[in-house]
Amino acid sequence: MDEIIDRLRKVRKGAMFIIEAPSGTGKGTVIKELLKNDQNIKFSVSVTTRQPRPGEVEGVDYYFVSDEQYDEFLKQDAFYEYVDSQYGSRYGTLRSEVDSFINVGQDVLFDMDWAGARQMRQKAPDDVVTIYLLPPSIRELRRRLEGRGTDSREVIEKRMGIIMEKISHWDEFDYVIVNVSLAETVTKIQKIISGERMRRVRQVGLKGFVKELVKEAEEKQPF
C-alpha cells in the first residue's frame, strides 16, 4: 500500500502559485513564511538585464543576463511572461526553469504583478493558480509601509498614489485574502495549496492507478 501511495506522490504535476498585493500588504513576508514551511515549494528566479545590486546573488535573486542573451530568449519564445521595457531593465520568467520543477511534482511560487499573472494564465491555464492579498484598510497599509522602514517618504507617497490602480485588478485572481493576521493568511494559503494539489489535472499518476484498479477488479471477479 505504501508503495502505491509513494508512486502516486511522485507522479503529481506541480502548480504555479502567483501571489500579488499592493505594496506594503505583506506579500514578501507571506512568501518567506510559505517557503520556510514547505520544502516542496520553490521560488521562481527571474531573468533580468539589469546590473546586480550589492548583495544580490546570481541564481538566487535573479539570473543576470546580457541584452543579447535576453533577445535570444525572446526569439526562442523561452519566457512564460516578460516585461520588455523599452527604456529600463528587462525581466522574464523562463519556461525551462519553471517546467523543470512542475514536471517532477514541485510547486512554484511567483511574486508577480497582475500583468505577469495575465500572461502566465494565457500560456499555462491549467497550471496557474492566482492569489490576491488585500490590506485590511488603506490606513493600515500606510502604517505597514512606514513600519517596514525601507522606503523614503517620497517612495511611500508614490506607492500610496498607485494603490487604486493596483487594487482595481483584484477580481482577476482566483483567490482573495484580506491579510489581517499574518499567521492566518499563511494558513489559508497553505490550505489553497493542498487543495490545488488534489485537483485531478495535477494528479497525472491517477490514470495508471485507476487502470491497475480496473485490472485488479477484473482479475478478481467475482470478489
Q: Binding to ligand ADP by residue 119, rule CB under 6 A? A: no
Among positions 77-106, residues that touch ligand ADP (CB under 6 A) are none
CB of 135 to ligand ADP, least distance (A): 9
Class of residue 21 by CB neighbours under 10 A (exposed 0-12, middle 13-18, buried 19+): buried
Identify the CA nearest to 11 among candidates 122, 83, 104.
Answer: 104
Helix, strand, coil tally for the chain in percent (to 5): 45, 20, 35
Q: Binding to ligand ADP by residue 35, rule CB under 6 A? A: no
Identify the CA nearest to 192 among candidates 1, 7, 38.
Answer: 38
Are 44 and 109 in contact by the 8 Å Cβ rule? The answer is yes
Residues binding ligand ADP: number (CB under 6 A):
14
Q: Binding to ligand ADP by residue 141, rule CB under 6 A? A: no
Residue 181 or 187: which CB sits closer to ligand ADP? Answer: 181
Q: Binding to ligand ADP by residue 26, rule CB under 6 A? A: yes
Range list of β-strands (E), the chain: 16-20, 41-43, 46-48, 62-64, 79-84, 90-94, 107-111, 128-134, 175-178
Class of residue 23 by CB neighbours under 10 A (exposed 0-12, middle 13-18, buried 19+): buried
Among 15, 21, 34, 120, binds ligand ADP (CB under 6 A): 21
Residue 25 or 49: which CB sits closer to ligand ADP? Answer: 25
Among positions 155-214, residues that touch ligand ADP (CB under 6 A) are 179, 181-182
Q: Binding to ligand ADP by residue 24, rule CB under 6 A? A: yes
Residue 21 or 47: which CB sits closer to ligand ADP? Answer: 21
Q: Binding to ligand ADP by residue 148, rule CB under 6 A? A: yes
Among 12, 17, 19, 27, binds ligand ADP (CB under 6 A): 27
Q: Binding to ligand ADP by residue 28, rule CB under 6 A? A: yes
Q: Is the peptide bond before 54 cis (omega within 30 degrees of 0)?
A: no
Chain residues in the site for ligand ADP (CB under 6 A): 21, 23-29, 144, 147-148, 179, 181-182
